[in-house]
Chain A
C-alpha cells in the first residue's frame, strides 16, 4: 500500500506538472496567435526608410501580379515599405480617394496605375505640391504624361497580335477583339484596338469583325468571347489583351469544339495559358513584362526622392510566346 501510494502520487504528480506545462503552453500559444493577429507593435515589423504607396485596380490579372511583384522586389533594395491600395475595376473615384489619402498622409512615394485617359499631369502637380514622389504606370501613357510614365505599350501589343493573326489566316482573318475591363472611353480609340486594326488593315480582305470590352470579374473574358462567337459565327480569330480574358476565351473555344477553327492570340503568362499554347488552343501570347514595369517604377521613385527630375517615358516591351518558344 505504501509503495503503491508513492507510485500513484508520483504518477499524478507528473500528470499535474505535465498538465500545467501544457496549459501554460496553450496560453502562450494563444497569446502568440493574438500577437500575430492583433497585438502588432512597430517593433514586430521590419523598419523602412520610405513609405511607398501603390494604387492599382483590384484584379487577379497576371499583369498586375507581375507589377506588384516587381515593386515589392525592388522596394526591399530601396529600403521602402510598400502599401498597396486596390480599387475595384475602373472606378476612378476610388482611385482618386486613395490618391488623396496618400497625399494627405504625406507618404514618401506613390506608384499609381493610370489609364490612358487619366489626368496624370494634374496628379503629378498635386503630388509634387504635397511633397510626394509620383510615378504613373500602366499600359499606355495618358495624355500629358510625356515624362516619367512607365508602361507596356498597348499599340505595339495590338499590332503584334494583329500581325500574328493575319500571318496565320491572311485575308480570311475575321478578328474579334476583347479589350480590358480596366479601360474606359471609346473602344475604337483604344491604342490596343488601333494596334490590331493597323496590322489587320495591311492584309487585304482581313477584317476586325467585332470588338467588345470585358466586364470586371474573373469570367469577363469567357463571357465576352462566348457572346462574340455567338453573335458573329464568322469570327475565326480572337485577340485578348490580358491573361484572364485569354484563359476565358480559350475555355469557350474548347467548349464550343472550335479549336483549330478559331485562332486565339492572348496576352501575358500563366500556367494555364502555357498549357493552352502547348495544346494548340492558343496560338501565341504577347507577354508584357509587368514585373519590369514595377522595378522601373521603384527606380523612378528613388530618382525623384533623390531630387532628380522624372525620366523619359519607358515602354518595357514584350515577349511573344508560342509553341515554338519565346521571341522578343
Chain B
C-alpha cells in the first residue's frame, strides 16, 4: 500500500493540495471561458442578421448586374449569394410560435422566400427576353428586399434590445462571479495551507516523539511513559526498533542492577557474619570473665575478711565486708527491681566506703521515710547519683561539702533525692544532661557508670527510670552554679501499666 510509506504520504498529501489548487484554477478558468462565451452569444443573432443583410445586398447587386448587362459573372454572383441567402434564411425560425421574435423570423423567412421567387422569375424572364415580365418581377423583388431589410433592422433592434436587457442582467452577476472566483481561490489557498500544516504536523509529530524518546533514554529513563508512533510507515518501523532496543537496554540494566544488589547483600551478610563472629568471641570472653571474676572476687574478699578478723583488724574486716556487700549488690542483674530499703542499704555501704576513702572531708546525710522503704525501684538508682555528687559536685571543693540522700512519699509518688552543696551547673549544662538522658538508648552498663565519665551515670539513671516505669517516672535535675545540684527521681507507686 503506497499510503503506508512516508514517501506515499508525502506524495498523496502534495497531490491533494495540488488538486485543490488546480481545481480552483480550473474552475475560475472555466468561469472566465463561460463569461466570454456568454458575451459571444449575446451578439450571435445580430451577427446573423448583419450577414443576411449583406448577402441580400450582394444578391441584389448580382441580380441587377445580370439584368442590366446579362453578365455571366453577375449571374454567378447572384446564384452564389442567393444560395447563401436561402441557406441563411433556412436558419431562421419557420414555425408558428407565440413569441414576437420568432414570428418576426418567420416573417423574414417568408419575405426572403418571396424575394428569391421574384428574383428567380426575373432571371427566367430575362433569359426568355420577357422585358415586361422581368421588370415586374424585379420591381416586386425590390419591394420584398426593402421590406426584408426593414424586418432585418427591426429584428436587429429587437435583438439588440434583448441583448442589452440580457447583458444588463448578465452584467449584474459578473461582479458576483468574479468575487466568488476570488473567494474560491482564497478558500482553496487557505484550505491547502491548513492541509499542509496538518500534514506537516502528521509527518513530523512521530519524529518528535521518537526524538523525545531518544532523549529520555539518554537521560537514563527507560519507562513506557512516552507514547511512540504506531504507524506502519518507516517511522513506525523505526519506533518499533527503537522500542525493542530500549527494552533490551532496560533489561540489561535491570539485570546488572539486580546482580549488584545481590553482591551488595552478600557483602553485607559477610560483614554481619564477621561482626557476629567477633561479638560471639567477645561474649564468650565476657561470659568467662563473668563466671570467673565473682567467684574469684568473693573468695578473695572472704579470705581477706577472715584474715582481718584473725589479726584483729576490725576496720579492715568492716571495709572488706561492706565492699563485698556492695559488689554483690552491684553485680546482680541490672534489670531487677529492688525495694527502696535495699537501695538505702546499698548507698549506705557505698557511703561507708567513701568515708573511709575521704575521711571527714565530705558529710553524708541519709533520710528515709518508713512508708517509702517498701516501694519498688530499679536497682542502683542512688549510688550513681551519690558517686556523681562526690566526683563532680564536690571534687573541686577543698573545704568539702555535704551530700544528702532523702527518700519520701509525695502523693502517689516516691521521691528519691540526692543533692549536694558542690559547684553546681549552669542551665545549659542541665538542659544538655536531661536531653541526653531522654535520648539515651543505653541500658544499664556498669562500665557506663564510671565516675570519670561526666553525665553518663545520670543518663543511665534517667533511661532506666523511664523504661522501668513505662514513662510514668521521671528524673528532675535542679542546679545552680556555686549552689549545688539536686537530682530528684519520681517513682510512681504501683505497677506500671505500660
Contact = CB atoms under 8 A, between A and B. Distances in A.
Interface in A124-179: none
Contact of A42 (B102, B169, B190, B195): B102
B111 A16 contact: no
Q: Pick the most buried of A1, A6, A83: most chain B CB atoms within 10 A of its CB.
A: A83
Given A5-B201, A16-B191, A46 B166 contact: no
Contact of A19 (B38, B97, B104, B184): B184
A64 to B, nearest CB: 17
Interface residues of A, number: 48
A56 to B, nearest CB: 15
B98 A45 contact: yes
Contacts of B163: 37-38
Given A9-B195, A20-B184, A104-B147, A38 B106 contact: no
A13 interface: yes
B173 interface: yes
A16 B169 CA distance: 26
Given A23-B180, A38-B45, A30 B170 contact: yes
What size tier do the contact residues of chain B reach?
Answer: 35 or more
Nearest to B198: A5
A15 B187 CA distance: 6
Contacts of A29: 173
B101 interface: yes
Contact of B27 (A8, A23, A39): A23
Given A9-B198, A16-B24, A97-B150, A44 B110 contact: no
Contacts of A84: 100
A185 interface: no
A40 B96 contact: no
A106 interface: yes
A100 B187 contact: no
B170 A34 contact: yes
Interface in B198-212: 198, 201-202, 205
A48 interface: yes
Given A16-B20, A19-B180, A101 B147 contact: yes
Contacts, number: 156
B224 interface: no
Interface in B259-275: none
Contacts of B162: 37-38
B10 interface: no
Contacts of A65: none
Interface in A13-49: 13, 15-16, 19-20, 22-23, 26-27, 29-31, 33-34, 36-40, 42, 44-49
Given A16-B191, A38-B45, A104-B147, A1 B197 contact: yes
A48 to B, nearest CB: 5
A108 B107 CA distance: 11
Contacts of A44: 99
Contact of A27 (B34, B97, B165): B34
Contact of A50 (B96, B101, B109): B96
B134 interface: no
Nearest to B170: A30
Contacts of A15: 183, 187, 190-191
Given A30-B177, A84-B100, A104-B147, 5 more contacts: A16-B20, A19-B184, A23-B184, A81-B99, A105-B109
A261 B293 CA distance: 173
B41 A39 contact: yes
Contacts of A83: 100, 103-104, 107
Q: Is the interface of B mostly helix, strand, loop or mixed?
A: helix
Nearest to A100: B147
B110 A106 contact: yes
B97 A26 contact: no
Nearest to A47: B97
Given A13-B191, A26-B173, A104-B144, A40 B99 contact: yes
Most interface-central of B24, B42, B151, B191 (chain A CB within 10 A): B191
B195 to A, nearest CB: 5
Contact of A8 (B41, B93, B194): B194
Contacts of B194: 5, 8-9, 12
A12 B169 CA distance: 30
**Most chain B beta-carbon neighbours within 10 Å: one of A5, A46, A84, A108:** A5
Interface string A39-75: 1101011111111000000000000000000000000
A15 B110 CA distance: 54
Contact of B102 (A20, A23, A34, A40): A40
Contact of B177 (A8, A23, A33, A97): A23
Contacts of B371: none
The 5 closest A-B CB pairs, nearest first, are: A37-B166, A105-B110, A12-B191, A45-B99, A45-B97
22 contacts: A5-B194, A5-B195, A6-B198, A9-B194, A16-B187, A19-B181, A23-B31, A30-B34, A30-B35, A36-B166, A37-B169, A38-B162, A39-B41, A81-B96, A81-B97, A101-B150, A104-B110, A104-B144, A105-B107, A105-B108, A106-B110, A107-B110
Contacts of B27: 20, 23
Interface string A104-123: 11111000000000000000
Contacts of B177: 23, 26-27, 30
A48 B147 contact: no
Nearest to A108: B96
A239 to B, nearest CB: 37
Given A9-B194, A16-B187, A83-B107, A38 B201 contact: no
A30 B38 contact: yes
A130 to B, nearest CB: 9
A2 B201 contact: yes
A307 to B, nearest CB: 20
Nearest to A17: B187
A283 to B, nearest CB: 41
Nearest to A72: B98
A73 to B, nearest CB: 13
A100 B148 CA distance: 11
A246 B150 CA distance: 36
Contacts of A104: 110-111, 114, 144, 147
B278 interface: no
Given A13-B191, A27-B34, A51-B96, A38 B166 contact: yes
